[in-house]
Copies of this chain bind each other. A is one copy, B any other.
Amino acid sequence: MVETIQWTAAGVVMIDQTRLPRVQEFVTCRTYQDVAHAIVTMVIRGAPAIGVAAAMGIALGVQQADPARLDAEFETICSTLAATRPTAVNLFWAIDRMRKLYASLRGQPVAAIRARLIAEALAVYEEDIAINRAIGAHGAPLVPDGRTVLTHCNAGALATAGYGTALGVIRAAIEAGKSIDVFAGETRPFLQGARLTVWELQQDHIPVTLITDNMAGHFLKSGRIGCCVVGADRIARNGDVANKVGTYGVAVLAKENGVPFYVAAPISTLDLTLRSGDQIPIEQRPAEEVTEVFGVPVAPDNTAVENPAFDVTPNRYVAGIITEKGVAFPPYEESLPRLAAKE
């Protein structure tokens, strides 16, 4: 399995997810600004992976910061990384975690602070893999044996430090001996399904069939799909889920056809400060993502475009939210805070 992100002596190394699957190229971020740029341009994407990248970006920035102005530079590093993308809350969760640690280290020698921040970023990375394994273990029993699982976007190893959230559930179901295959929606405009999910599952020899996003309804109606599993970028206290645009459509079509729709995400994706999904900020991305595919124009010049990167799926369409601490079922206002508080 390819490494999504790694801390190295040369800097933070990421596989360039804008070029997969045709080109497997690694990018070395040598400054925290490089890391921020990689997040903005989606060299790395996926809520948990963005969280890891932010933690590593902060650690990297602090290594290079002027010891005489460390506090000010730390703030600049954090605010630069926080300004990259608005929707995935894991980004802010990771920054907050690094910020709290930094505050606790006040007065210690710079060398010690630097070492501790590296160790914390590596801990975020390692914990993410363990979290995904736990999500997989909790989710695997929910996957119907002998059926097809529909997923949207990429909530796999490439969206995390490794193993994946939604694809982690699929991997765990297969490791548990279930005989399943996967339908992957291509996920326009950025094609994370076609480019990343298909590629990643093929690497693991998991049978996967590519469909365009607008075919999801046809196959949900056909009876072929046993369940849907997707990731999340932010989950409100009531269980409303922000995830890659198109998730809401899949969820409604699943419910309409009696197919359970599950969300797999770490507890760090919960934003218990938000009462509902209406409060989640939705990122608008550049028009060119819609009007061009790999630089090839697919629409007339000067076409007006809307490009919300995410949508919000109301909690009533979500059959369960699979976390590393267990599965939350409706009513989420009760189950999610309880799960989050669990040791």
On whether the beta carbons of B245 and A311 are closer than 8 Å, the reply is no
In the complex, what residues of B have CB within 8 A of residue A209's CB? 304-306
By size class, the interface of chain A is 35 or more
Asked if residues A22 and B297 are in contact (CB atoms below 8 Å), the reply is yes
Q: Are B290 and A211 in contact (CB under 8 A)?
A: yes
Closest to A287 in B: B210
Instruction: Decide if B299 touches A296 in the complex (CB within 8 Å).
Output: no
A249-B217, A252-B217, A253-B249 known; A194 and B298 CB under 8 Å?
Answer: yes
CB distance from A307 to the nearest CB of B (A): 8
Residues of B close to A186: CB separation below 8 A = 188, 290, 298-299
Residues of B contacting A202 in the complex (Cβ-Cβ under 8 angstroms): 300, 303
Q: Which residues in B have their C-beta under 8 angstroms from that of A330? A: none
Contact B249 A214 (CB under 8 A): yes
A218: chain B residues within 8 A (beta carbon)? 245, 248, 308, 311
A94-133: contact bitstring with B at CB < 8 Å (1 yes, 0 no)?
0000000000000000000000000000000000000000
**Contact status A21-B299, CB under 8 Å:** yes
* In the complex, per-residue mask of A178-210: 1 if CB is within 8 Å of any chain B CB, else 0: 000001011111010011001100100001111
Query: Is B198's CB under 8 angstroms from A299's CB?
Result: yes
Given contact pairs A212-B213, A221-B248, enumerate 7 new A-B contacts (beta carbons under 8 Å).
A186-B188, A186-B290, A188-B214, A210-B304, A213-B213, A213-B246, A293-B298
